[in-house]
């Protein structure tokens, strides 16, 4: 390690590794944004969005329910058999809509969905249903995870807004989502009722609550980041008084925080690297928090830091590898691979990881060590920022003071689950914030199948 690289690492660690005071600014900033979101109507770009789901499962529920998960790429329809004692059995059909379907008439698209539902009920998962359900003599409840903007007005009502992600369906914008589904089911002779519309983060919390009923937070930490938690209805001021008064005192409703759009320059410790990346993004000044820590951005942050080291002759002999100067050319999976490979002979992994770049001189083991250390610093900050969301959600609910029981967080997502040492780093950051005694009560548990199991459970709870 040269004197120059030592100086650069000291500067990088000072800027990227957050002090407790910096963490406090973020946690307090999030708590303020919770309060603001609870009273700001959920129109357009909104946070703290009510799900109208007012209970969590006990883990003892049984029966077979349907869920539908539509994202930008795939349609996934699942038959979820709740077996009790927190156990489930899932069978699914998966289809990718063609460009013609995504841009054609809305009723044709919903008919295509109805055909897939019929395939699941009558062929793929027939044995999970009763003869009455297969024949259409008994109604099947469906939970829909609709990964597009919806102005939701009830657990099973919502107006379709402009979709995005390549979808420009004709004659759907402004229509009620449940109505579009029910018309298609009627045309196909299916006795299926849309019982719930949900967000995938709310689904994650509900799905994990089936396996651990004490779950109080659902957090997705993947390409993007988001979180859900239960909030007292009386605190959700954005719901009009007449709606709030319908619920018994003390009722809690699950909220989709949309924490990905939290964060302002007033309290986020943005570095020159963050600002440079944000400037190159097609949506500058948007999702600043997510850009500092989610899987979509970590690789580019690392590349920009590495470019700074190269320009200061502290990496790759000051030579920019061909292709490395291209924006977004260093994905987060390269960071993950570098941090995972702790073997003595790292030249092999170098060829696998950096093989797409052309080097004038083969990088040394020292170069690989420097690049890996950069990855570690960038990903450690990511873990610290993730811990801020968890800490704020714990404090918003007063979970530390309420009891001495464990605090259960359902965690889902590739960055948390598959990035090496991420789980340990998030735990370490929570320990720094709460201290050993309280942090030992915080249990981060892997939550699976928010869209499928969560959707079916919410359909069950709603029906």
Domains of the chain: 1-50+211-447 (3.40.367.20), 62-198 (3.30.420.40)
Residue 39: is its pLDDT beyond 80?
Answer: yes
Residue 164: is its pLDDT beyond 90?
Answer: no
- Interstrand relation of 62-70 and 442-446 (parallel, antiparallel or unpaired): unpaired
pLDDT of residue 343: 59
pLDDT in tens, 417-460: 999 999 999 999 999 999 999 999 999 999 988 778 999 999 99
Round to whole Å and give the CA distance between 91 and 435: 43
Helices (H), 139-253: 177-187, 200-211, 241-245
- Interstrand relation of 225-232 and 215-221 (parallel, antiparallel or unpaired): antiparallel
Task: Calculate the alpha carbon distances from 138 to 65, 178, 211, 463 in Å.
Answer: 12, 19, 28, 13
Token match 């100086």: residue?
A: 7
- Confidence class for position 339, pLDDT limits 50, 70, 90: very high
How much is the average pLDDT of 338-361? 75
pLDDT of residue 341: 79
- Interstrand relation of 442-446 and 407-412 (parallel, antiparallel or unpaired): parallel
What is the percentage of the chain residues whose pLDDT exceeds 70? 97
pLDDT of residue 172: 93
Contact 53, 206 (CB under 8 A): yes
For residue 361, count other CB atoms closer than 10 A to its CB. 10
pLDDT in tens, 43-65: 777 899 999 999 999 999 999 99
- Confidence class for position 349, pLDDT limits 50, 70, 90: low
Q: Which residues contact 65 (CB under 8 A, 6 or more apart)?
A: 79, 80, 82, 140, 141, 142, 143, 456, 457, 459, 460
């Amino acid at each position: 390690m040269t004197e120059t690289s030592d100086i650069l690492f000291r500067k990088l660690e000072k800027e990227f590794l957050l002090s407790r005071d910096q963490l406090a600014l973020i946690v307090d900033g999030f708590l303020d944004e919770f309060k603001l979101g609870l009273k700001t109507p959920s129109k357009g770009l909104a946070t703290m969005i009510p799900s109208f789901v007012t209970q969590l499962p006990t883990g003892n529920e049984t029966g077979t329910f349907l869920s539908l998960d539509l994202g930008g790429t795939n349609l996934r329809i699942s038959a979820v058999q709740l077996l009790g004692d927190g156990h489930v059995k899932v069978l699914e059909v998966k289809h990718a809509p063609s460009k013609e379907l995504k841009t054609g008439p809305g009723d044709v698209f919903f008919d295509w969905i109805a055909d897939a539902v019929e395939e699941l009920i009558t062929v793929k998962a027939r044995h999970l249903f009763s003869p009455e359900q297969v024949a259409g003599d008994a109604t099947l409840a469906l939970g829909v995870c609709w990964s597009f903007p919806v102005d939701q007005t009830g657990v099973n009502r919502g107006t379709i807004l402009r979709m995005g992600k390549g979808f420009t369906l004709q004659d759907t914008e402004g229509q009620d989502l449940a109505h579009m589904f029910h018309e298609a089911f009627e045309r196909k002779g299916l006795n299926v009722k849309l019982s719930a519309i949900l967000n995938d983060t709310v689904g994650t919390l509900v799905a994990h609550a089936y396996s651990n009923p004490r779950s109080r937070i659902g957090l997705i930490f993947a390409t993007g980041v988001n979180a859900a938690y239960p909030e007292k209805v009386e605190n959700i001021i954005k719901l009009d008084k007449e709606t709030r008064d319908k619920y018994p005192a003390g009722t809690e409703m699950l909220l989709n925080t949309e924490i990905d759009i939290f964060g302002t320059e007033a309290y986020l410790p943005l570095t020159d690297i963050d600002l440079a990346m944000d400037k190159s993004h097609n949506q500058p000044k948007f999702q600043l928090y997510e850009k500092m820590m989610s899987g979509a951005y970590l690789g580019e942050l690392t590349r920009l830091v590495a470019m700074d080291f190269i320009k200061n002759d502290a990496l790759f002999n000051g030579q920019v590898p061909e292709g490395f100067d291209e924006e977004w050319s260093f994905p987060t999976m390269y960071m993950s691979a570098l941090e995972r490979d702790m073997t003595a002979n790292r030249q092999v992994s170098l060829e696998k990881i950096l093989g797409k770049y052309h080097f004038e001189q083969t990088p040394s083991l020292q170069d690989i060590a420097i690049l890996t250390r950069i990855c570690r610093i960038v990903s450690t900050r990511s873990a610290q920022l993730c811990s801020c969301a968890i800490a704020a959600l714990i404090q918003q609910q007063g979970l530390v003071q309420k009891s001495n029981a464990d605090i259960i967080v359902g965690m889902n997502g590739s960055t948390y689950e598959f990035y090496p040492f991420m789980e340990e780093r998030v735990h370490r950051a929570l320990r720094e914030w709460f201290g050993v005694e309280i942090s030992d009560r915080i249990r981060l548990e892997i939550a699976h199948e928010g869209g499928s199991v969560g959707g079916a459970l919410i359909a069950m709870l709603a029906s």
